Chain A
Amino acid sequence: MKRKKRKSATALCGWQKRLRNDWILYAMLLPILLWYLIFCYLPMGGITLAFRNYRYDMGLWRSPWVGLAHFRTMFSDAEFWRAFKNTLIFSAGKLLFHFPVPIFVAILLNEIRHPPVKKFFQTVFTFPHFISWVVLSGILINMFASNGIVNQLLGALGWGQVAPLMSLDSFRPFIWSSNIWKEFGWDSIIYMAALTSIDPQLYEAADIDGAGRLQKMLYITWPGIRGTVCVMLILQIGGIMSGASFDQIFNLYSSPVYPVADIIDTYVYRQSFMVGTNFGYTTAIGLLKSVIGVVMICGANRITARLGEDGLF
């Protein structure tokens, strides 16, 4: 209490003195501030474009205002709503199919009693995380090509050809499963970390009491990571507007599957750079997405805090 008072007193009478004494610290801060201003806050200011009609001759800051015209267009733009819906569907599917996988993997990996074996599997499972979607999509497209390994195996079994990347029915499941392939190992690390903090004495005590493996999993392991699972779940719900990564969809989709594959990010990209729609309109779409995203994340954080877990910020 006392310290606080003194601190504010010095701040009042001598911030210039503090600046002079600490000028090296503030000199170090300067380039950082500049970077954030130029590369983060300047584009944020540029969001005013959502209320302007972009004109090449007038640029980002001087294009004429149009008020909410872009938002009115958006609400009657069927393709936008399709992309909006797809974004939500990809998120819901990720929550349903992807989310539980790393939890199971972590719990089961925890059952392996030989640390080198455990480490080996973890190393293998995490590898695809470090490869870009450009490369991974190349691999997948090759494997599922008409002369690729998958169709060849299916042919040998006497089944028909598949083309999941071209099919309206299987494109989404393909996105979900390929994302599981890339990320399940990486995603399980956070749960593995939570599991290492469980006191081993609990397991010993359970052994003495004659608890079986399943009982130990249910009554020791699961409670040990439940908090982490809760936080991750809420984060996932908070990230509802980014359930499918742009990199993944953009490198795997093609025009036949746009109806099921197009998400807001890819729609904005195509409209801006391939169709040539006004930049103002696509900025407005981006703004709507960002705002919904922020509201969801803040809401999720509020809920986490209410549940007694550490919030995000």
Chain B
Amino acid sequence: MKQKKRLSAFEVCLYLVFGVLAAVTLYPFYNVLIVSLSNTVTSARYSPYLYPHVFDLTGYRAIVRDVYFFKSLATTLFVTAVGTSMNMAFSVVAAYVLSRKRLMGRGALLGAILFTMLFSGGLIPTYLVICDLGLDNTVWSMILPTMISTYYLIIMKNYFAGIPASLEEAARIDGANDAVILTRIFVPISKPFMATFALFYAVERWNGWWEAFLYINKKDIKPLQIYLRDILVSFNTQLGSQAQSVMTGGKVFVQSVQMAAIVVTMVPILCLYPFLQKYFVKGVMIGSVKE
């Protein structure tokens, strides 16, 4: 039934332009992949651009031989798993409480919370407070300071405020208290919505590097992003000397190790992306709806 519409000249141009734009957007990632799979000596002379000239896994081999890679991976997995759970727990509870109209001082509380989006202590006071709390050089410095994203909290609060009050009233008549109402009614009925924010939080935790950069000196608990950054910027990790001994050359040959590290760091996001993609449009659109 559906008649195939013929493409006009305009549409052909449109597809062409977008096709080129898509290729330009994705090519850098593809380039990283092929460099990481290339022989280091050849790619130092001429960089591969469509496929690896000489297929070689030295880069990946150097990384999996490095014990600090696995340590940093473990740190990042811990921070992502625990951090995201705590992000969600705190945000959901906060969103629920703040969406209850009967909460005393609700307006003032909301104002105080919104204010933190506009104004913050800034780098040094925050740094000193975190250090005073003894959080520096612990994994908690990567989890606690970012535990609530006020932006997400407000969106969740607006969403909870939109859930019909009759649901809550019915549960209350049956003797349910707030904790039960939240965990048995609000959370189950807003699962897809929750998934959106869990994914956003997870990506942020995975990509997080700044807190670690600032607070963590211990090599054992540096996250993956910092591990990668060390390889990229200064190449001063344990891997440095290891990789150099694996390969014969000077700094230039380090390239495929660096690119392999980039690929490894991106893989989880790539795996998560189809799910993210399903939800992010929704997330942004909900975000633009105000109370």
Residues of A within 8 A of B (CB): 11, 15, 18-19, 22, 24-25, 28-29, 31-33, 35-36, 38-47, 49, 54, 59-60, 108-109, 111-113, 117, 121-128, 130-132, 134-135, 137-143, 145, 147-149, 152-153, 181, 185, 189-190, 192-193, 213, 246-247, 251, 265, 268-269, 272, 279, 282-283, 286-287, 289-290, 293-294, 297-298, 310, 313
In the bound complex, residues from chain B placing their C-beta under 8 Å from that of A29 are 94, 97, 103, 109
Bound complex: CA of A35 vs CA of B116, how far in Å?
12
Contact B125 A43 (CB under 8 A): yes
A142, B32: Cβ atoms under 8 Å?
yes
Bound state CA distance, A153 and B46, in angstroms?
10
* CB atoms of B120 and A282 under 8 A apart: no
Contact indicator A143/B31 (Cβ below 8 Å): yes
Given A141-B232, A147-B252, A290-B120, answer yes or no on A47-B125 (Cβ-Cβ < 8 Å): yes
- Which B positions have Cβ atoms within 8 angstroms of A? 5, 10-11, 14-15, 17-18, 21-22, 24-26, 28-29, 31-32, 35, 43-47, 49, 90, 93-94, 96-97, 100, 102-104, 109, 112-114, 116, 118-129, 132-133, 144-145, 147-148, 177-179, 182, 203, 207-210, 225, 228-229, 232, 252, 255, 258-259, 261-262, 265-266, 269, 273, 276-277, 280-281, 284-285, 288, 290
Given the contacts A29-B103, A139-B262, A153-B49, A127 and B273 also touching, CB distance less than 8 Å: yes
Nearest to B286 among chain A residues (CB) is A193
- Of the residues B100, B273, B284, contact of A25 by C-beta under 8 Å: B100
Cβ of A127 and Cβ of B178 under 8 Å apart? no
Q: What residue of chain A has the Cβ atom nearest to residue B114's Cβ?
A: A313
Which residue on chain A has the smallest CB distance to residue B203?
A130
Q: How many A-B residue pairs have CB under 8 A?
A: 232
**Contacting pair A35 B122 (CB below 8 A):** no
Sampled A-B contacts (30; CB under 8 Å): A11-B104, A25-B97, A28-B97, A31-B90, A31-B93, A32-B94, A35-B148, A39-B129, A43-B122, A44-B119, A44-B120, A44-B125, A46-B124, A108-B18, A111-B14, A112-B15, A113-B5, A123-B277, A124-B25, A134-B232, A135-B228, A138-B262, A142-B31, A142-B32, A152-B47, A152-B49, A181-B24, A190-B284, A247-B209, A272-B123
Whether B49 pairs with A287 at a CB distance below 8 angstroms is no
User: With a CB–CB cut-off of 8 A, which chain B residues contact A279?
Assistant: 124, 128
Interface pair B209/A32, CB less than 8 Å apart: no
